[in-house]
Amino acid sequence: MRYERPSTMKEATNLLAKEKGAAYVLAGGTDLLVRLRTGFIEPDLVVDIKKIAATRTIQPSAGGFKIGASVSGAELGENAKVKKAWPGVVEAVNLIGSKQVQGRCTMVGNLCNASPAADAVPALVAAAAKAVIVGPKGKRTIPVEQVPTAPGRTSLKKGEIIESIVLPKRPPRSGDAYLRFIPRTEMDIAVVGVGISITLDAKGVCKAARVSLGAVAPTVLLVPEAAKALIGTKMDKAALDKLAAACSAACRPIDDKRGTRDFRIKVAGVLARRAAQIARKRAGGK
Ligand SMILES: Cc1cc2nc3c(=O)[nH]c(=O)nc-3n(C[C@H](O)[C@H](O)[C@H](O)COP(=O)(O)OP(=O)(O)OC[C@H]3O[C@@H](n4cnc5c(N)ncnc54)[C@H](O)[C@@H]3O)c2cc1C
């Protein structure tokens, strides 16, 4: 196995594009190294992207933020500006693992590992975040929900690397939140995760919303019906009931040892209702 640590995106994409065997990007390694050590994967090439300057910074971008692909969860949590604008995204990323894991893990690794239960992903989808992808044929930008295509699979082509995640500009009176259910108090995989982002008008009426569910389908879901239940309302009980029903209806979960299908369907509605109330409060709703 070759380990490479290039300092430019061009070198990194060339290395990956030219490799004939199994090639992997290494960010924090908190998924990759576990899979490697358990023999689940046998890489011929590992390309560590942490030395590439473009992946290491958090920059302002068109009123929002461009967050480099190797910025760790802990670094993101220490960024007061991102935390203020997108508290739901930051709380989702900071839920990953433990203090030790936080020092290494990245939200792009969470996205590219393509687990249906990944914690950062529903919050990123709700935030309308975009992934900036660099590959042998140049740069392209896609909505984050188009990255995972199935458990453990992504839409990235050979040689492509996600360089950064773009969080859009936040209109005034906006708020977001992420909640998950786990059987333990921490260090567990989400049974259900819900990300919600909303914007209110001056009268407290919800004028924009995005709702996303994790761990209830093969990939994280964007649920437009759930957003519709909130838009045009003051997010009162009737609207929250509709939101919960739309979230439950969108679920296509499996039964496993962490939760049954019926439990996941029910909990998706319960968490959506709670996350919406937190997002509304953060948006300044009374
Ligand atoms: C003890 C422990 C607890 C955990 N707890 C949680 C949890 O609570 N919630 C949760 O969601 N996850 C959890 N995880 C899983 C893991 O920590 C997260 O998914 C983390 O965000 C992965 O980020 P990373 O940078 O370490 O990814 P890596 O392991 O470096 O990479 C993960 C995958 O993404 C690919 N990849 C990474 N970066 C890029 C890039 N820029 N472009 C293209 N492909 C890329 C890699 O090739 C690999 O296939 C836990 C893991 C451990 C070991």
Ligand 1: which of 16, 31, 184 to mutate, most ligand atoms within 8 Å of CB?
Answer: 31
pLDDT tens digits along 249-280: 999 998 988 889 999 999 999 999 999 999 99
Ligand 1: which of 13, 110, 146, 185 to mutate, most ligand atoms within 8 Å of CB?
Answer: 110
Q: Is 61 exposed, middle or buried (0-12, 13-18, 19+ CB in 10 A)?
A: middle
pLDDT tens digits along 223-243: 999 999 999 999 999 999 999
pLDDT of residue 219: 97
Q: From CA 48, how far away is CA 197, in angstroms rounded?
A: 33
Taking the model in full, what pTM does it have?
0.97
Q: Record the tokens describing residue 5, joined without a space.
A: 């640590």
Q: Are the C-beta atoms of 225 and 234 separated by less than 8 Å?
A: no
Query: Of all protein residues, whose CA lies closest to atom 27 belonging to ligand 1?
Result: 109
Where on the phi/psi map is residue 51: left (φ > 0), alpha (ψ -120 to 50), or beta? alpha
Pairing of strands 64-68, 161-167: antiparallel
Query: Of all protein residues, whose CA lies closest to atom 43 belonging to ligand 1?
Result: 161
pLDDT tens digits along 24-83: 999 999 999 999 999 999 999 999 999 999 999 999 999 999 999 999 999 999 999 999
pLDDT of residue 261: 95
- Closest Cα to residue 178, out of 96, 242, 251, 106? 96
pLDDT tens digits along 68-82: 999 999 999 999 999
User: Rounded to the nearest whole angstrom, what is the distance from the C-alpha of residue 27 to the centroid of ligand 1?
Assistant: 8
Ligand 1: which of 89, 91, 105, 153 to mutate, most ligand atoms within 8 Å of CB?
Answer: 105
Report which ligand 1 atom has the smallest distance to the Cα of 95. Answer: 8
Report which ligand 1 atom has the smallest distance to the Cα of 106. Answer: 25
